Structure 1
Amino acid sequence: MAERCFHCGDPVPAGDRRVVRIDGEDRPVCCAGCEAVAGLIAGSGLTDFYRYRTAPSSRPEPEADEWSAYDRETLLDEVSHPVGEHTREAVFALEGITCAACAWLIERVLEREPGVETVQVNPATGRLLLGWDTTVATLSTLLRHLAGIGYRAHPLEAGEAIPGIIRERRAMLRRLAVAGLGMMQVMMYAVGLYAGAIHNDMDPQIEAFLRLVSLLVATPVVVYAGAPFFRGAWRDVRGGRPGMDVPVALAVGSAFAASVWNTLVAGGEVYFDSATMFVFFLTVARSLEMAARHRAGRTTESLAQTLPTTALRLTEDRPERVALRELQPGDRVRVRPGDTIPADGTVVSGRSAVDESLITGEFEPVPRGAGDAVLAGSGNTGGVLDIRVERIGRQTLVSAIVGLLERAQTRRPRLARVADRVAGWFVSAVLVGTAVIAGVWWWLEPGAAFEITLAVLVATCPCALSLATPTALVASTSALARRGLLVTRTDAVEGLARASRLILDKTGTLTTGTPGIRRIRVAGRIGRDEAYALAAALEAHSEHPIAGAFPPGEHLPRAGEVTVEPGAGLAGNVDGRAVRLGRPGWALPEGTTAPAGGIVLADGDGWLATFELADQLRPEAVPAIQALQARGLTVEIASGDDPAAVAEVAAAVGVDDWRARMRPEDKLARMCEAQSAGERVVMVGDGINDAPVLAGADVSVAMGRGSALARNSADMVLMRDDLSALVEAADGARRAVRIIRENLIWAALYNLTALPLAATGMLTPWMAAVGMSLSSLVVVGNALRANRWRAPRFGPDGHDPAAIPTATP
């Protein structure tokens, strides 16, 4: 078995053994970069890092002075802000951080740098807060040193350092804590008061004490945690459009005010438990809405790591590092191997292979040479490219994709608009009905009017209705999370249960996104095993993605004098035989031929073997797709890849409806076409090119290993990276919807029963409060059933005899 690098975990190339002495033992490393980083860590006395880390570290990038641009005043002002006369601070998103040990290492290394005043790393969010004295240290030096130990820093804008969403989230958590703790305490006191009222034997002093303590505990719940409901109600009233906050504020405010009056003056019934329960349960629902809203707005942060911050601009004198915003159409930039192309443009000189998979969905890196167009956000995997800039900023394709994403996210689904109208009618009906009942009783018996009106408000308060959906969704999303599917927008559960069409991307979704050998054809002079060994020996010296299709074996021959021809292939000497591996026109000797298709292995005498490569189909793809089809979903494939590759995958998984060479706008148009026909569409994808259609779909699912932009645009993320989780999600969603229907029916029956009883005076406020509490408990208890269901079993035909029937719209 091949040795693994002690620092980054990559295979150690044969014939190039390097070691670093750590804690008295020689540890193998794979390259000069890992050797330098491991030596730095050991020499600095920080070897505890290796003891406590939970995953291999990132391989340090080859030295390229991309950091000098951070000393330019324009870029420095953009990424940092002054906090003193000579001190500045900046916040960075860290790439390569995997655990708390990484955070510890970064802090220890940077703390030893002269001029560094503040270093704080949050391993959970991957954020670095860096403060330094500009008279002693430069930002480029610090970032260069950070990259030298394997961690790249991407600057966040100053406004993102302490975003408003964090403040809103913290305020929501404080309100939730106050409401939850207060509600539990008040409910404990209410049990005693209810028991005393039923048996009529409570000591008056104890009753007064419990009332007073309930008042003290309920006050911060109503005044602090319930403040958003009162502000929202006031805003709705001023705007002339009553929303759900109006009856909630009336019920909470009336119950609390009457309870305060009866506690301090009149001695009647108190309803502190009802008021605190209203506030707590409705605050839980609001917190779920807030989380979904925040999730929808994280596009900028995802895009920050797609485009580079700087570019190497070519001038008449010498190349210079400049901020990305300083580029202008007509400039020439140089993109080195491993760098990201900063702008749309045309190659002026050089040849390379460019990875456009995140933008176009193309699986294999495509060759690019002089005269070819390249896209911002693409990765240069081969040689050096000199590019003439043509489009920058918002004019680039990747920015256009983000524009499509933002436009799709602003579309309000039809069901949401219907729900808004229904909510308005419901609130108006409740307010009008309560006013009529209050007027009738004021005319019939003024002394009972307030108590009956309050009973009506409590009985019709939409507590159980508001809990019916969120509690079942929370329970079901928790169960899905345990099965590897993270739900980022809870309304996606209902959408998935009602979905009729499933649209899948190909690359990285139905396939693994990594190349594999589908077939080896040999000329007859050598066998398949020998051909593979020769190719793997050459690819062991390559960092091209295709090298992943040739993992080194235990008895791999050694390759020497290996040279890489960007966009063409590799040449070297393996066991005394000069061989070439790559494109046929380059690898084959002049005057010789080879069968078409794949990459060619050849020596001086001609063709030796052809390796046909293909993106590997996920092992669970076929049974998962068949199981989804068995559950009533129509499945289709929409990919940006080549038609032949898409057709092959579609045939393998049993999908008849497929489309190839689709751009982001094509996918979005296809989805809108299906929606216009009345279909409810689930979209599954993984690339940046999938982000707009993911945002516009009724339900969107992103692969966990896909692009950050796709994940942030999705309603669900497959963290298990397994398509069978989709089947579990479909069954879990249908079960959750069934439970939601049961909850809504129960809540509606309670309100329909309680309203006439309260309106006729047969239901007192405390009875209405008890009924409301029991109704809420029934809803919550029923909702918890969504947290428990067995994972579906499906065989080769995709059927599960015990599967939950398809939900009807």
Structure 2
Amino acid sequence: MLSAAGALARRGILVRRLDALEALAGIDTVVFDKTGTLTSDVMVLGQIRVRAGLDAQQAVAMASALARHSLHPASRALVEAAGPANNGWLASGVVEHHGLGLSALVYPDGVAGQTLPLRLGSAKFCGVPATDAAVMQVFLSDDKHWLATFELEEDIRADARETVTALKACGLNVCLLSGDVVAAAQRVASRVGIEAFKGQCSPQDKLDFLRDCQLQGHKVAVVGDGLNDGPILAAAHASFAFGQAVPLTQAQADFLVAGSRLTDIAGALLLARRTLAVVRQNLWWAAIYNAVCVPLAVLGMLPAWLAGIGMASSSLLVVLNALRLTQTRPWQREN
């Protein structure tokens, strides 16, 4: 196990629990989050639609006042679009509703008495009719009306399809769960080769999906990076988070991927399977050696010096067999 953990560490994958390697070896299903996992964690603000009488730049400034309090990629895109000045809008009493959005009192800088109760997030959270847009949308509303819709453009990671293909080649089922609308989830799923997907998932929906899979006897690994992925990561048999994930998500993950290579997920799985095979080989060797040599030593048919050499050689063989895990690149298959 230590040899495998060392090999993964050199590849930039930190193993937080050694027993997670054994769990990973038995996985038959992998569940991916969409935003920031299969897609790039950097989004760009695209089209903006606002209510009559509201300026688009002002809407972005108001939205970014809330977004500054979140680490979600969509929030970072709004903050980047508003710029460092933020046009003088501030927020107080900010509450982040996991998987839904943000709510707060927003007011112009220096005019704290004129506050607006705003919500930023999903259509359901903002009380806006859901749409079938194939792009990610974030909505802004006050306590009575819709104010603005922000369309965010996201790129699929270059190695996403390669990773999904590699996991399927290992005999795994691959699923996609997303909090975005179904059309956006379907667009990403079709481009990376995932047939099973669900959109508009709350953190509880994701957790229910995982538990249903587990009740059916599946061993599930989860890959995520958002705050709303924390519960499902904690409940999975094995879980991955990337280095740019929020701290709470990293704390729940069994494996932390320092880089942004999705292919490392497939590599870790292959190495976990090889590790378990080596452990079984070593256990069988130890059992056979003890079954043969211990009775001979008890009967006096095996000299003490020869028994000592045999024990040392057996231990050396076990260590050398384990060290094979450090020689083969874990993201490559053994022939």
Bucket of the pairwise TM-score, normalised by the shorter protein: 0.5 to 0.7
Deviation of 1:675 after TM superposition, in Å, equals: 2.3
Q: Quick check: 2:45–2:78 contact (8 Å CA) kept in 1?
A: no
Name the aligned partner's letter for residue 273 of structure 2: R
Name the aligned partner's letter for residue 779 of structure 1: V
Is 1:502 the equivalent of 2:33? no
Q: Quick check: 1:495–1:699 contact (8 Å CA) kept in 2?
A: yes
**What root-mean-square deviation, in Å, do the aligned CA atoms of Structure 1 and Structure 2 show?**
3.9
Q: Deviation digits for residues 279-329 of structure 1, max 9, x if unmatched?
A: xxxxxxxxxxxxxxxxxxxxxxxxxxxxxxxxxxxxxxxxxxxxxxxxxxx
Between the aligned partners of 1:724 and 1:769, the Cα distance in structure 2 is 45
Partner of 1:317: none
Partner of 2:327: 788
Partner of 1:776: 315
Name the aligned partner's letter for residue 743 of structure 1: N
Between the aligned partners of 1:562 and 1:755, the Cα distance in structure 2 is 81
* From 197, 200, 206, the counterpart of 1:658: 197
Partner of 2:300: 761
What secondary structure sits across from 1:770 in the alignment?
helix
Partner of 1:640: 179
Is 1:744 the equivalent of 2:288? no
Between the aligned partners of 2:232 and 2:81, the Cα distance in structure 1 is 35
Q: Aligned in 2, Cα 1:659/1:763: closer, same or farther, shift over 3 Å?
A: same
Name the aligned partner's letter for residue 505 of structure 1: D
Between the aligned partners of 1:518 and 1:792, the Cα distance in structure 2 is 37
Partner of 1:479: 7
Higher relative contact order (CA 8 A, sep 6+): 2
Q: Quick check: 2:29–2:221 contact (8 Å CA) kept in 1?
A: yes
Between the aligned partners of 1:614 and 1:549, the Cα distance in structure 2 is 13
Q: Deviation digits for residues 171-222 of structure 1, max 9, x if unmatched?
A: xxxxxxxxxxxxxxxxxxxxxxxxxxxxxxxxxxxxxxxxxxxxxxxxxxxx
Deviation of 1:565 after TM superposition, in Å, equals: 9.5
Q: Aligned in 2, Cα 1:785/1:649: closer, same or farther, shift over 3 Å?
A: same
Partner of 2:126: none
Is 1:719 the equivalent of 2:273? no
Q: Quick check: 1:514–1:548 contact (8 Å CA) kept in 2?
A: no
Q: Aligned in 2, Cα 1:767/1:676: closer, same or farther, shift over 3 Å?
A: farther
Q: Quick check: 1:520–1:611 contact (8 Å CA) kept in 2?
A: yes
Q: Quick check: 2:223–2:240 contact (8 Å CA) kept in 1?
A: yes
Partner of 1:546: 77
Deviation of 1:511 after TM superposition, in Å, equals: 2.4
Between the aligned partners of 2:270 and 2:263, the Cα distance in structure 1 is 11
Q: Aligned in 2, Cα 1:687/1:613: closer, same or farther, shift over 3 Å?
A: closer
Name the aligned partner's letter for residue 290 of structure 2: N
Q: Deviation digits for residues 404-425 of structure 1, max 9, x if unmatched?
A: xxxxxxxxxxxxxxxxxxxxxx
Partner of 1:238: none
Q: Quick check: 2:38–2:157 contact (8 Å CA) kept in 1?
A: yes
Name the aligned partner's letter for residue 490 of structure 1: L
Q: Quick check: 2:264–2:331 contact (8 Å CA) kept in 1?
A: no
Q: Quick check: 2:12–2:258 contact (8 Å CA) kept in 1?
A: yes
Greater shift in the superposed pair: 614-623 or 679-688: 614-623
Between the aligned partners of 2:304 and 2:205, the Cα distance in structure 1 is 58
Q: Deviation digits for residues 721-753 of structure 1, max 9, x if unmatched?
A: 321211221222233223223222221221121
Q: Deviation digits for residues 426-484 of structure 1, max 9, x if unmatched?
A: xxxxxxxxxxxxxxxxxxxxxxxxxxxxxxxxxxxxxxxxxxxxxxx111111111111
* From 671, 686, 699, the counterpart of 2:225: 686
Is 1:701 the equivalent of 2:240? yes
Partner of 1:269: none
Between the aligned partners of 1:791 and 1:475, the Cα distance in structure 2 is 12
| 5+ residue gaps, structure 1 | 1-472, 522-533, 553-559, 570-582, 584-595, 600-609, 794-802
Partner of 2:113: none
Q: Aligned in 2, Cα 1:548/1:727: closer, same or farther, shift over 3 Å?
A: farther
Q: Quick check: 2:30–2:221 contact (8 Å CA) kept in 1?
A: yes
Deviation of 1:493 after TM superposition, in Å, equals: 1.9
Partner of 2:272: 733
Q: Quick check: 1:637–1:657 contact (8 Å CA) kept in 2?
A: yes
Between the aligned partners of 2:177 and 2:320, the Cα distance in structure 1 is 42
Q: Aligned in 2, Cα 1:755/1:791: closer, same or farther, shift over 3 Å?
A: closer
Between the aligned partners of 1:561 and 1:614, the Cα distance in structure 2 is 21
Name the aligned partner's letter for residue 475 of structure 1: S
Q: Aligned in 2, Cα 1:765/1:659: closer, same or farther, shift over 3 Å?
A: farther
Deviation of 1:563 after TM superposition, in Å, equals: 6.2
Q: Which residues of 2 match residues 394-473 of structure 1 at below 5 A?
A: 473=1
Quote the sequence identity (%): 38
Name the aligned partner's letter for residue 9 of structure 2: A
Q: Quick check: 1:685–1:701 contact (8 Å CA) kept in 2?
A: yes
Partner of 1:25: none
Is 1:804 the equivalent of 2:311? no
Name the aligned partner's letter for residue 5 of structure 2: T
Q: Aligned in 2, Cα 1:640/1:778: closer, same or farther, shift over 3 Å?
A: same
Deviation of 1:705 after TM superposition, in Å, equals: 1.8
Deviation of 1:549 after TM superposition, in Å, equals: 5.9
Deviation of 1:778 after TM superposition, in Å, equals: 0.7
Q: Structure 2 length normalisation: TM-score?
A: 0.68
| 5+ residue gaps, structure 2 | 50-55, 68-75, 92-102, 107-119, 121-132, 139-148
Name the aligned partner's letter for residue 317 of structure 2: V
Deviation of 1:509 after TM superposition, in Å, equals: 1.8
Q: Quick check: 1:704–1:719 contact (8 Å CA) kept in 2?
A: yes
Deviation of 1:649 after TM superposition, in Å, equals: 1.9
Between the aligned partners of 1:769 and 1:518, the Cα distance in structure 2 is 73
What secondary structure sits across from 2:40 in the alignment?
strand
Deviation of 1:561 after TM superposition, in Å, equals: 12
Q: Aligned in 2, Cα 1:520/1:790: closer, same or farther, shift over 3 Å?
A: farther
Q: Aligned in 2, Cα 1:739/1:515: closer, same or farther, shift over 3 Å?
A: same
Partner of 1:677: 216
What secondary structure sits across from 2:241 in the alignment?
strand
Partner of 2:163: 624
Between the aligned partners of 1:516 and 1:496, the Cα distance in structure 2 is 35
Is 1:493 the equivalent of 2:24? no
Q: Aligned in 2, Cα 1:624/1:742: closer, same or farther, shift over 3 Å?
A: same
Deviation of 1:665 after TM superposition, in Å, equals: 3.6
Which structure is larger by alpha-carbon Rg, 1 or 2? 1
What secondary structure sits across from 1:617 in the alignment?
coil
Between the aligned partners of 1:475 and 1:551, the Cα distance in structure 2 is 48
Deviation of 1:707 after TM superposition, in Å, equals: 2.5
